[in-house]
Chain A
Amino acid sequence: MAEIHLDALTKRYPTFTLGPIDLTIKDNEFFGIFGPPSSGKTSILRAMLGLMKQDEGRVLINGDDASDVGVDRRNLAMVFQNLALFPHMTGRENITFPLTEAKMPTTEVDKRLDRVAEVLHIAHILHKQPGQMSGGERQRIALGRAFVREPQAFLLDEPIAALDARLREEMRVELKRLQRENDHTFVYVSHDEEEVLSISDRVAILLEGQVAQVGTPEEIYDRPVNLDVAKLVGSPPINVLSGTLAEGGTRLALEGCDYSVAPPAGHGSEQTMFCGIRPEHMRVEDSDGPTIKAKVVAIEPLGGFTIVDASIGGQLFKLRLPGQPKISEDEILPIVPDPDQLHFFGSDGKRV
């Protein structure tokens, strides 16, 4: 129902500058914004909502400049991390609050409440007060209060960060389903990469107040534009080895181990490069060919897969092995990276 466009948005703080940020959030899109703590994620939402006035640049909503439009007239709904429910009101009163405040006729209020209750499956908790609800129920009431206004877009600021791990997994699927079934525009902010990448259609990676990359979760995970983005997404994080070009630039000898990989063509004239290998793109191989010798330091069996901390030339490496392999500590594993899944970065950190 709405397209939000940020045009060179800039906000200066004494020790930190946000932007300039150019972003377009398309109609009916689930757009994720991800970055480490204090990278400016929430400030972007606040600028969209109108809670924060930017120093430069514009916020455009459906093509109209919204810079001088007050919070109350932008018709955007925001769900906060702490939910900000009214503790003395029932679920029903919490949800209908924005409508009764706007003096909407009772029949219309009831109609909208029924619809929201059906979509969110909350009919059975409408009579409870927030104090009597579980975390997930409170969450749904907060969403309901945003939905009932039928806003142009929803801005969600870490809306499920306060929930239990298991509940978080369930809620995020639910959010995705809601968004898709009702064709809403969602802008979703979180510092949990798994959460953002799993449900967003497109994601913006924010680093130190700048947009480092915008793309689908696949693009960001498979083709990070630089080393910082590569390190930021993926859990356990990507392993990075530096390497020296050898044999006329056709091989990259990795530091700390007796192993070389083929660098991409057209890598320029650099002598050293970084090679990033995701933990899941290494496998244990018992062949006579060249392998990387990794000494097992610790094993984290997680059931469906196993994370192995291994030391390669003194550097700690994370391997993600499928299933429950039989490995013991201090064992030397011969490992081979998947040659098609390597990431190369120049000495300036840019993807090659």
Chain B
Amino acid sequence: MSSITLKSVTKRFGDLTAVDRLDLEIDNGAFVALLGPSGCGKTTTMNMIAGIETATSGHILFDGELLDGVRVQDRNIGFVFQNYAIFTHLSVYKNLAYGLEVRKLPKAEIEQKVKAMAERMSITHRLNEPAASLSVNEMQKLAIGRSAVTEPRIFLLDEPLSNLDAGFRAYMRAELKVLQHSFGQTMVYVTHDQVEAMSLADKIAIIDKGKLMQYGAPLDVYNDPENRFVANFVGSPSMNLLEGHLAQVGNEVVLRLAEGSEVPLPPPVVAAFESEPGAKEAVLGIRPQNIYLGEPRSPDDRSVSAEVDVIERVGPKRQMHLRVGTHDLRAMDDAAEARPGQRVAVSLSAENCLAFSAADGRRLRAGREV
């Protein structure tokens, strides 16, 4: 068990900056997800923690101890690869025993530890079979068990669930959480799937283009995104982000979209936009759950007229794709009231409208001058 500290870590590949001055503090025993789209630098970050790649500048510390120049072999890290990297020429037993054999442990001890781990991972019945004959699901368990058996200081998982089918993925998600509890180890988990990150991690680090966008507990990140990128990336279905000009119409402030249609803005969000004085452009963010059919239910809510374009239905979720002018606005319709092609009035819930700066995507909050 170790805490991990990244101090202004930068990695460049030629002209490309994969990771850009990343600072991250991962507590002892925490389960942290590195979340971002593919190519955002999350895997590079993890590889640097493992020592597979060396940082161009900056430092990585385990328990405050500097790791520069420490070989991969000596870092004592459990690493689960995306494709598991099972030694397919060896038996399941030999796979599990590998990390112990290279440490030259006594045979009896190896056997006892391997058996215990196989039991833990429920692959005991396959111990003597060639590892290549395992199913994908069993390989996943073997990969985790093989790393866990050496009792590493920290555990790194590189999109370990992405090769599984949907049903087993949900099961494995729960299993991983149980495992993390029972191992009590510091775990860093790389994923591009925000559902995985939200449901598994204690804290999420959202990375885009090599930069840390936000670091916090799942619900904090969801409810209180620091910027436009986080707002868009976290949450399913994703947040609506409407870009336009701020304009005064009578007593109301509206957001005028590119082709001229207008979205009236609730007063709290107008106050937030005013914290960036002089800005004409603005971005309004609102989650589909916070748009409801019909007239405003509270005095601050505002309504807008839209046309129902497509209705997507997945089990409990009914998602409408609305057209405001030429803009797509997603809203939930759990009561199944709307039909495609219909014109409807929808209202925006005032307390859930977020304001973002059009210039740099920063979150704007009321009463805070910048």
Contacts and interface: CB of A to CB of B under 8 A. Distances in A.
* A–B contact at 8 Å CB threshold (below): yes
B192 A166 contact: yes
Interface string B308-333: 01101111100101000000000000
B370 interface: no
Contacts of A193: 166
Contact of A304 (B200, B218, B235, B310): B235
Contacts of A309: 174
A218 B223 CA distance: 31
A235 B194 CA distance: 16
B236 A192 contact: no
A197 B315 contact: yes
B315 A278 contact: yes
B67 interface: no
B82 to A, nearest CB: 13
B221 to A, nearest CB: 9
A303 B204 CA distance: 13
A199 B37 contact: no
A250 interface: no
Given A193-B166, A278-B315, A278-B316, A303 B310 contact: no
Contacts of B38: 135, 164
B46 interface: no
A131 B169 CA distance: 30
Nearest to A37: B165
B177 interface: yes
Among B165, B166, B234, B315, chain A packs the most CB atoms within 10 A around the CB of B315
A233 interface: yes
Interface of B: 37-38, 165-167, 170, 173-174, 177-178, 192-195, 198-200, 218-219, 222-223, 233-238, 287-289, 309-310, 312-316, 319, 321
A234 B315 contact: yes
Given A167-B37, A169-B238, A302-B199, 17 more contacts: A164-B192, A165-B194, A166-B37, A177-B309, A177-B310, A192-B166, A194-B315, A221-B315, A234-B315, A235-B170, A278-B315, A280-B316, A298-B178, A303-B236, A303-B287, A304-B288, A324-B219
Contacts of B238: 166, 169
Contact of B321 (A166, A173, A280, A304): A173
A307 interface: yes
A303 B166 contact: no
Contacts of B219: 301, 303, 324
Given A298-B177, A303-B223, A173 B312 contact: yes
A303 B234 contact: yes
17 contacts: A37-B165, A164-B37, A169-B237, A173-B310, A192-B166, A194-B315, A197-B314, A198-B314, A218-B313, A221-B315, A237-B167, A279-B316, A302-B222, A303-B219, A303-B223, A304-B289, A309-B174
Contacts of A166: 37, 192, 194, 233, 238
Contacts of A197: 313-315
Those 5 A-B pairs whose CB atoms lie nearest each other, nearest first: A300-B199, A303-B222, A280-B316, A165-B193, A198-B312
Contacts of A180: 310
A304 B236 contact: yes
Interface of A: 36-37, 135, 164-167, 169, 173, 176-177, 180, 191-194, 197-199, 217-218, 221, 232-237, 278-280, 298, 300-304, 307, 309, 320, 324
Nearest to A281: B316
B316 A320 contact: yes
A60 B17 CA distance: 55
A345 to B, nearest CB: 18
Contacts of B198: 300-303
Given A165-B192, A173-B310, A176-B310, A235 B218 contact: no
A193 B314 CA distance: 8
Given A180-B310, A304-B287, A165 B315 contact: no
A309 B170 CA distance: 12
Contacts of B236: 169, 302-304
A298 B192 contact: no
A180 B237 CA distance: 22
B312 A235 contact: no
A323 B277 CA distance: 34
A37 B173 CA distance: 19
A303 B352 CA distance: 13
A194 B195 CA distance: 14
Most buried by B among A135, A233, A300: A300
A25 to B, nearest CB: 20
Contacts of B218: 301, 303
Given A303-B223, A320-B316, A191 B37 contact: no
B290 to A, nearest CB: 9
A217 B313 contact: yes
Nearest to B287: A304
Residue picked from A173, A221, A320, most chain B C-beta under 10 Å: A173
A36 B165 contact: yes
Nearest to B196: A165
A233 B317 CA distance: 13
A192 B168 CA distance: 12
Given A221-B315, A303-B235, A320-B316, A298 B166 contact: no
Contacts of B234: 303
A300 B222 CA distance: 13
B313 A165 contact: no
Contacts of B165: 36-37, 191
A309 B178 CA distance: 12
B313 to A, nearest CB: 6
A271 B236 CA distance: 42
Question: In the complex, which of the residues A173, A177, A303 has the most CB atoms of chain B within 10 Å of its own CB atom?
Answer: A303
A97 to B, nearest CB: 27
Nearest to B39: A134
A27 B195 CA distance: 36
A311 to B, nearest CB: 12
A166 B235 CA distance: 10
Given A135-B38, A173-B321, A192-B166, A302 B313 contact: no
A197 B318 CA distance: 11
Nearest to A180: B310
B235 A199 contact: no
A191 B166 contact: yes
A36 B136 CA distance: 14
Contacts of A237: 167, 170
Nearest to B38: A164
